[in-house]
Structure 1
Amino acid sequence: MTPFTYMQARTVEEAVRAAASDNEARYIAGGTNLLDLMKENVERPSHLIDVTHLPLKTIADTPDGGLRIGALTTNSQVQYDDRVRQRYPLLASAIAAGASPQLRNAASTGGNLLQRTRCFYFYDTGVACNKRVPGSGCSAIGGKNRAHAILGASDHCIATHPSDMCVALAALDATVQVTGREGNRTIAVADFHRLPQAQPHIDTTLLPGELITAVVLPAEGFAAHYSYLKLRDRLSYAFALVSVAAALRMKEGTITEARLALGGVAHKPWRNLSAEKFLNGKKSDRTVFTQAADLLLSEAQGQGDNDFKIPLARRAIVRALEQAAAGTPQSQINKRIT
Structure 2
Amino acid sequence: MKPFTYARAGDVAEALRAGAAPGAKYIGGGTNLVDLMRETIEQPTALVDVTGLSSDIKRLRGGGLLIGAAVRNTELATHREVRTQSPVLSRAVVAGASGQIRNMATVGGNMLQRTRCAYFYDAGGSRCNKRNPGQGCDAIEGFNRTHAILGASSACVATHPSDMCVALAALDAVVHLDGPGGARKVPLTELHRLPGDHPEVETVLDRSELITAVELPPLPWARRSTYRKVRDRASYAFALVSVAAALDVRGGEVRNVRIALGGVAHKPWRAHEAETALIGGPATTRAFRAAAEAELMAAKPLHDNGFKIELATRTITAVLSELAGGTR
TM-score, normalized by length of structure 2? 0.97
Query: Which residue type is aligned with residue 96 of structure 1?
Result: V
In structure 2, distance between residues paired with 1:237 and 1:3:
30
Structure 2 SS opposite 1:104: helix
Q: Structure 1 pair 90/327, CA: closer, same or farther in 2 (3 Å)? A: farther
The aligned counterpart of 1:6 is: 6
**Counterpart of 2:159 in structure 1: which amino acid?**
T
Aligned match of 2:156: 157
How many angstroms does 1:4 deviate by?
1.2
Code of the residue aligned with 2:116 in structure 1: it is: R
Q: Which amino acid aligns with 1:238?
A: A
Question: 1:276-314: CA deviations, max 9, x gaps?
Answer: 021111122111011110111121011111111111111
Counterpart of 1:15 in structure 2 is: 15
1:226–1:325 contact (8 Å) kept in structure 2: no
How many angstroms does 1:273 deviate by? 1.8
- Partner in structure 2 of residue 275 of structure 1: 274
- Contact 1:178-1:184 at 8 Å conserved across structures: yes
Distance in 1 (CA, whole Å) between partners of 2:259 and 2:323 is 11
Q: How does 1:236-251 map onto structure 2 within 5 Å?
A: 236-251=235-250
CA-CA distance at 1:256 after TM superposition: 0.1
State the one-letter code of the partner of 1:95.
V
Aligned residue number for residue 232 of structure 2: 233
The aligned runs of 1:1-338 (5 Å cut-off) are 1-22=1-22, 24-54=23-53, 56-126=54-124, 127-326=126-325
Residues 117 and 160 of structure 1 are in contact (CA less than 8 Å); yes or no, is this contact kept in structure 2? yes
| 1:335 alignment partner in structure 2 | none
AA partner of residue 70 (structure 1):
G
Tell me if structure 2 keeps the 8 A contact 1:172–1:221: no
Question: What are the superposed Cα offsets for residues 154-210 of structure 1, whole Å, 9 maximum, x if unpaired?
Answer: 000000000000000000000000100011000000100100000101111111101
Contact 2:86 / 2:223 at 8 angstroms: preserved in 1?
A: no
SS in 2 for 1:248: strand
* SS of 2:175 mapped into structure 1: strand
Other structure's SS at 1:190 match? helix
Q: Over aligned residue pairs, what C-alpha RMSD do you find?
A: 1.2
Q: CA deviation at 1:252?
A: 1.9
Q: Are 1:226 and 1:323, in contact at CA under 8 Å, matched by a contact in 2?
A: no
- Matching residue's letter, 1:90: V
Change (3 A) 1:105 1:327: farther
Which stretches in structure 1 are left out of the alignment for 5+ residues?
329-338
Give, in whole Å, the separation in 2 of the partners of 1:142 and 1:291: 31
The structural deviation recorded for 1:274 is 2.7
Residues 308-338 of structure 1: per-residue CA shift (max 9 Å, x gap): 111111111111111111189xxxxxxxxxx
Equivalent residues of 2:243, 2:262 under 8 A apart: yes
Distance 1:16 1:175, change over 3 A: same
Shift of 1:221: 4.7
Whole-angstrom CA distance in 1 between matches of 2:185 and 2:311: 35
Give the Cα–Cα distance (whole angstroms) in 1 for the partners of residues 323 and 57 of structure 2: 26
Q: Distance in 2 between matches of 1:215 and 1:65?
A: 14
SS of match in other structure, 1:205: coil
Partner-residue secondary structure (3-state), 1:306 = coil
CA distance in 1, matches of 2:70, 2:239: 24
Identity %: 54
What stretches of structure 1 move > 6 A for 4+ residues in a row? none
Other structure's SS at 1:250 match: strand
Taking a change above 3 Å as real, the CA distance of residues 215 and 98 of structure 1, as seen in their structure-2 partners, is same
8 A contact 1:152–1:195 mirrored in 2? yes
Task: Name the aligned partner's letter for residue 110 of structure 2.
Answer: N
Rounded to whole Å, the distance in 1 between the matches of 2:85 and 2:58 is: 13
Count, aligned residues = 326
Residues 78 and 90 in structure 2, CA contact (< 8 A), matched pair in contact too: yes
